Amino acid sequence: MVVVKRILVLALALAGCAAAPPRPPPAVHAGGIELFAAGLPRGARVTVAGTFNDWDVRGPSLRETGPGEYRAFVDLAPGVHRLQLVVRTQDGSERWMPPPGLDRYEPDGFGGSNAVVEIARNLRADGSSFEEK
């Protein structure tokens, strides 16, 4: 009986050490970026602010896809953009943070950092841009 209990305790301990499923890194596309953030408070309102919208906190919203996990595809014009997530919790607090998992960050001038994303131009085979009219 003691051996069975020890095996059960060991099995439960090992189950608790199992690795969390891997999170996909944010994907940069020709038309924008897919953002993913985990470990945020449940029920928060998460938006994106950056140079693309003059740092407006009412930017595109991330949708809660699991407990504390948020994701969204953000349309961005071609060029270099700096951005942060704005996390507002139900108690009214607000926190700015760079989106995790990106390749490039730089100081934001306020003691934190901005994510830096470069969106390539969407080109046709002849070298002309789809954005040109």
The contacts of residue 87 (CB under 8 Å, 6+ apart) are: 40, 41, 44, 45, 46, 94, 95, 96, 97
Which DSSP symbol is given to 2?
H
Q: Give the 3-state secondary structure of residue 14.
A: helix
Per-residue pLDDT, 31: 79
Look at residue 124 and tell me if it is in a domain.
no
Domain of 34: which CATH number? 2.60.40.10
Residue 43 domain-assigned (yes or no): yes
- Specify the pLDDT at position 42: 95
**Per residue in 13-42, pLDDT tens?**
444 444 444 445 556 656 789 999 999 999
Assess if residue 8 is contained within a domain: no
> Looking at the domain assignment, is residue 18 inside a domain?
no
Domain span at 79: 25-119
pLDDT above 90: percentage of residues in the chain: 65
> What is the number of structural domains in the chain?
1
Confidence category of residue 56, pLDDT binned at 50, 70, 90: very high
DSSP 41: P
Say if 9 falls within a structural domain: no
